[in-house]
Amino acid sequence: MTSVAGRDLDSVAWSAVRIMQGILAVVVAYAAVTRQFGLVINSGIPLAITFLPRALNREYGYEMGGGLALWISGAAFLHAIGALGPYTMFGWYDQVTHTLSATLVAGAGYAIVVAIETEHDGVEIPSRLRGVFILLFVLAFGVLWEIGEFGTGLIAELYGGQAVLAQYGASDIALDLLFNAVGATIVALWGTGYFDGLSGLLARRVDRAENEP
């Protein structure tokens, strides 16, 4: 197994996840002390997401690899850090986070469709159509996200305060959806194998739910 400074890459990845969790915990505490509600949400939810791999292990016995755990935590971490300023300071930052987040949404879509195929013998989706499904799944999620951004902005405008999710006009929406599609395409072409374990977990959960009295 490949190693870094005498440690295997999986161990290094989990160490990086713990470092991110520590930094996010500090940001959440700072936001709470300074009463920045928007920052509490934008750092607290990503912090919770970084614990998802361990939660899946504890609740369902699914041992996620360090690489995928770092992938998930990295996307959450970059979003939280972006709320501190990079989103407004660097035009490219939003595109990077959207692309990275879209790869995870695409992975979830892939896991869902494979779980459906596994549990239903009459369902077989050709590989090309599976790629189209992943793309449409990500774009649909992206549209819902943009609606959420618009909604929080409208609420902030009506009642005062800072919007939890920021939106910067029609060009921002178009770029967000474009880079969502880029992330989906990357996973559809090269990254589905990383989510095979997750699809297996979903298939087992569906099978158990169907067989319960």
Is the domain of 124 the same as that of 171? yes
Looking at the structure, tell me whether residues 61 and 90 fall in a common domain: no
Stretch (H or E) spanning 154 = helix 127-159
Do residues 113 and 205 both lie within one domain? Answer: yes
Write the pLDDT tens digit of every residue in 155-192: 877 877 777 777 777 788 899 999 999 999 999 998 88
Q: Are residues 33 and 132 in the same domain?
A: no
What is the separation, in whole angstroms, between the first and last Cα of the chain? 44
Query: Sorting pLDDT into bands at 50, 70 and 90, what band is 63?
Result: very high
> Rg of the chain's alpha carbons, rounded to an integer?
19
Give a yes or no: residue 77 inside a domain: no
User: Is the same domain home to 160 and 101?
Assistant: yes
As for how many domains the chain has, the answer is 2
Taking alpha carbons only, the member of 97, 79, 21, 29 closest to residue 53 is 21
pTM score over 0.75: yes
